[in-house]
Amino acid sequence: MGFATSTHDRLNHAFDLLLVLIGIITASILQYISTLGSSSLITFGMRFMFIPLIPLILSWILRQITDNQDLGKFIDIFAWFYGIFTLFSDLLFFFGATFIKQFATHLGFDVGISSIVLYAIAVLLNVQVYKLLGFGKKEFGLVLVASSIAIVITAIILYVSTL
* Residue pLDDT, tens place only, 92-102: 778 777 776 55
Closest CA to 28 of 91, 78, 86: 91
Average pLDDT over residues 99-125: 64
Query: 136: Cβ–Cβ under 8 A, 6 or more apart, which residues?
Result: none
**pLDDT, position 8:** 73
163 versus 72: the higher-pLDDT residue is 72
pLDDT band for 157, please (50, 70, 90 cuts).
confident
- The Cα–Cα gap between 71 and 64 comes to 11
Whole-prediction pTM = 0.78
CA gyration radius, the chain = 17
Q: Which of 57-61, 67-71, 133-137, 142-146 has the lowest mean pLDDT?
A: 133-137
pLDDT band for 109, please (50, 70, 90 cuts).
very low
Closest CA to 16 of 61, 74, 66, 81: 61
**H-assigned helices in the chain:** 7-34, 39-50, 53-65, 69-98, 100-105, 109-133, 140-161
